[in-house]
């Protein structure tokens, strides 16, 4: 059995009336706050005859699944606070879509169906992407600080991207279709009926768009 002791500190303090409570001094909060220490005990046991409770986290408020512990820790202090205060909360992982079941996308603002087919072509040959070697780190400067020459170069790259063949996955419209398919409900979540796979309404928002911008920048760089 392997266990992990995680100390959690919850500050409690008496509130005082103030005309500007949002601008309270941090030192006042840290100096006068009384701290109550709780400890989370994470247990992991190997063996077929072990009960499921050995894979849970024991807290003063109840038991929380280890997966939810990771979700709480990944969310920082706010996630950890919610983890302790709501032990019954849980989160099912978002499954990958079934690529042959892509439907009509929806306008998220109006709820109306889009007249654009943003479903990618179906293929059974899927390659694992490998990061290319990086010899020089490139940094995109702030838009309000770039020179007119830089803006002209950027616009030229966008124009070349739009001029690529329509069936080229690097084409500007093809890249827009990728965002449309995953962010406008063209896919359903497997095993969840007609529930849309909506990246904007899940924890996938940041990692999805980071990868999306990564490929976008690589296309412009070429």
Q: Based on the fold, state whether residues 39 and 76 are members of the same structural domain.
A: yes
Beta-carbon contacts of residue 102 (< 8 Å; ≥ 6 apart): 119, 120, 181, 186, 187
Beta strand spans in 13-98 (E) = 34-44, 56-58, 63-65
Whole-angstrom Cα Rg for the chain: 24
Q: Based on the fold, state whether residues 76 and 104 are members of the same structural domain.
A: no
The answer as to whether 90 is a domain residue is no
Q: Which of 101-105, 183-187, 188-192 has the lowest mean pLDDT?
A: 188-192
Identify the three-state secondary structure at position 183: helix
Beta-carbon contacts of residue 124 (< 8 Å; ≥ 6 apart): none
The average pLDDT across 28-53 equals 50
Among residues 65, 85, 105, which one ends one of the domains? 85
Question: 131: domain range?
Answer: 95-222
Q: Based on the fold, state whether residues 53 and 163 are members of the same structural domain.
A: no
Q: Based on the fold, state whether residues 167 and 122 are members of the same structural domain.
A: yes
Handedness of CA 55, 59, 62, 65 (dihedral sign): negative
Among residues 85, 110, 140, which one ends one of the domains? 85
If one counts the domains in the chain, the total is 2
The average pLDDT across 57-82 equals 49
Q: Based on the fold, state whether residues 219 and 112 are members of the same structural domain.
A: yes
Identify the CATH number of the domain in which residue 120 sits.
1.10.1280.10
What are the two backbone dihedrals, phi and then psi, of residue 89, each rounded to the nearest 5 degrees? -70, 145
106 against 84, higher pLDDT: 106
Q: Per residue in 99-139, pLDDT tens?
A: 888 999 988 888 899 988 999 888 888 888 898 888 888 88
Q: Based on the fold, state whether residues 50 and 118 are members of the same structural domain.
A: no
pLDDT at 144 exceeding the cut of 90: yes
Q: Based on the fold, state whether residues 111 and 183 are members of the same structural domain.
A: yes
Q: Based on the fold, state whether residues 78 and 134 are members of the same structural domain.
A: no
Closest CA to 138 of 128, 149, 150: 150
pLDDT of residue 94: 79
Cα 196 to the center of its chain, rounded Å: 16
Q: Based on the fold, state whether residues 68 and 6 are members of the same structural domain.
A: yes
Asked whether the beta carbons of 87 and 166 are under 8 A apart, the reply is no
Q: What whole-number distance in Å separates Cα of residue 177 and Cα of residue 171?
A: 10
pTM for the whole structure: 0.54
């Amino acid at each position: 059995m392997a266990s992990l002791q995680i100390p959690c500190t919850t500050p409690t303090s008496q509130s005082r009336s103030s005309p500007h409570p949002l601008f309270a001094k941090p030192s006042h909060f840290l100096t006068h706050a009384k701290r109550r220490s709780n400890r989370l005990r994470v247990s992991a046991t190997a063996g077929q005859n072990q009960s499921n409770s050995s894979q849970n986290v024991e807290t003063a408020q109840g038991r929380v699944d280890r997966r939810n512990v990771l979700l709480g820790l990944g969310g920082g202090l706010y996630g950890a606070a919610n983890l302790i205060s709501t032990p019954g909360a849980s989160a099912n992982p978002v499954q990958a879509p079934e690529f042959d079941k892509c439907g009509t996308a929806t306008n998220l603002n109006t709820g109306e169906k889009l007249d654009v087919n943003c479903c990618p072509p179906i293929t059974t040959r899927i390659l694992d992407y490998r990061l290319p070697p990086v010899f020089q780190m490139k940094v995109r400067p702030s838009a309000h600080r770039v020179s007119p020459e830089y803006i002209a170069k950027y616009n030229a790259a966008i124009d070349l991207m739009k001029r690529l063949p329509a069936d080229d996955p690097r084409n500007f419209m093809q890249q827009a279709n990728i965002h449309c398919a995953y962010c406008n409900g063209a896919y359903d979540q497997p095993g969840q009926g007609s529930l849309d796979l909506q990246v904007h309404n899940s924890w996938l928002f940041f990692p999805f768009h980071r990868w999306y911008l990564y490929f976008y920048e690589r296309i412009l760089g070429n």
